[in-house]
A and B are shown apart, each in its own frame.
Chain A
């Protein structure tokens, strides 16, 4: 989140603020007809930010080549998805945007799933939402400890 590179637009103060940015970058790709796709990543916590839904609406309305990818590691800082989301099937929260859920712990599944979604995007068929389900082993920024508070004791094995 603190790194920037060509074509890698970095992280944002408010996580979720990058989603409208992603829609904007996707718009540029569509405008320039360069077959580019913008991958816009956010977490399960940021999935509750209003501006994500503003971005989704624009992406669908204008048929933008944007992949909205939710990295769901089951906890937003210290709060579990059960206690922060009315619907924690994050791949369905694009509503009118098709969604795919994949195993975020399996690198090959992620590669194939993303490739599949990008191909659809590149064909001009509009935005896709992806949920990569994963697990967080360590505490989030500021909540570091040997036994992070968010994990159940049974998870340690």
Chain B
């Protein structure tokens, strides 16, 4: 009996010893900072640190600025508000109960009364109870009061997009729901440098803004961020790579996927891609997009959100309206599928580099 047991143990140890552990790459993208480096006074920061810096600037320069949301006091579940309550006090940086509708309504009230209200919705997947307040109230306040009142001093920040294991309720990209609402601005940064400047612009903007932060980039995106305060313009897209054959359009995490696709297209197909980060969903930079598509004649729009009614649909409709005679092929969208965001099937769901590359290949052969 003992002999059998010890033989079994030896065999087991042998089997375990022969298991090779391989490095599995679980991320569908590789973060690459912009080619142009920042000169001068910079610090190497990741995305949540740069967002923290922008909020600190707001608190420092604007005595009416307040930050609130679930768990922001101790630093927030993604550390974006770390240190702010200690420095600026509980009356300016405070926790709210678990009540998204209440948070949004409260934020509108604070904003209309003159405070620069920066509200956090813990995950974009949870923004829907606040949808009525944002769409029916915040977006329409200036319009329905004849400019007597407005909620322009409101900024809502929320983590969004796929993170590898988020599943139904920690991975969503709800930008399209809000794009359908005049009166709002929606901004999605691709990295720390953009985030710091864009968030400050949103906070200081005269209209209610939703700042959606790709959560997978909080730690993955690291670059040299200028130390001083700076604002970046809203409604302006960035051309990250110039090209002649195909225009690739994306935002947030997807921008980094598209940059890699452009490299693959160059080396494997000899196709030169122009990569554009839309940056602002509304208002969106039609001029830059149309100019690019008129030049290349072929375009791929990629986003994680589902296909039907995704913001790619709006861009596609507008492109075919304005650039019809310049198009060499139909406008292509590579997007999440029309299902709830899955858990274990995430790698098949997101518009990864292989699906986008395939789209570029089809366009070339059209």
Contact = CB atoms under 8 A, between A and B. Distances in A.
Interface of A: 13-16, 45-46, 48-51, 76-79, 83-85, 142-143, 149
The residue in A13, A142, A143, A149 that gathers the most chain B C-beta atoms within 10 A of its C-beta is: A13
Contacts of A48: 97-99, 102
B100 interface: yes
Nearest to A13: B169
Contacts of B97: 45, 48, 76, 79, 84-85
A106 B212 CA distance: 44
Interface in B218-245: none
Contacts of A85: 97
Contacts, number: 50
Given A79-B95, A142-B77, A143-B77, A14 B100 contact: yes
Contacts of B99: 48-50
A50 B71 CA distance: 19
Interface of B: 70-71, 73-74, 77, 95-102, 125-126, 128-129, 168-169
B125 A13 contact: yes
Nearest to A77: B71
A151 to B, nearest CB: 13
Given A14-B100, A48-B97, A78 B71 contact: yes
A77 B98 CA distance: 10
30 contacts: A13-B125, A13-B126, A13-B168, A14-B100, A14-B126, A14-B128, A45-B97, A45-B98, A46-B98, A48-B97, A48-B98, A48-B102, A49-B98, A50-B102, A51-B129, A76-B70, A77-B70, A77-B71, A77-B98, A78-B77, A79-B70, A79-B95, A79-B97, A83-B73, A83-B95, A84-B97, A84-B98, A85-B97, A142-B77, A149-B74
A13 B52 CA distance: 27
A50 B101 contact: yes
Contacts of B95: 79, 83-84
A45 B169 CA distance: 17
A78 to B, nearest CB: 5
Contacts of B169: 13
Nearest to B77: A142
A85 B74 CA distance: 17
B280 to A, nearest CB: 27
A77 B129 CA distance: 19
A136 to B, nearest CB: 15
B73 A79 contact: yes
A76 B126 contact: no
Contacts of A76: 70, 97-98
A76 B126 CA distance: 15
Given A14-B129, A78-B71, A83-B73, 9 more contacts: A13-B168, A45-B97, A48-B97, A50-B102, A77-B71, A77-B98, A78-B77, A79-B95, A83-B95
Contacts of B98: 15-16, 45-46, 48-49, 76-77, 84
Nearest to B126: A14
Contacts of A45: 97-98
Contacts of A16: 98
Contacts of B100: 14
B132 to A, nearest CB: 11
Contacts of B77: 77-78, 142-143
The residue in B73, B98, B100 that gathers the most chain A C-beta atoms within 10 A of its C-beta is: B98
Given A13-B168, A16-B98, A79 B125 contact: no
Contacts of A14: 100, 126, 128-129
B316 to A, nearest CB: 29
Nearest to B168: A13
Contacts of A49: 98-99, 129
Contacts of A13: 125-126, 168-169
A50 B129 CA distance: 9
A140 to B, nearest CB: 9
Nearest to B169: A13
A79 B73 CA distance: 9
Nearest to B100: A14
The residue in B70, B74, B97, B169 that gathers the most chain A C-beta atoms within 10 A of its C-beta is: B97
B39 to A, nearest CB: 37
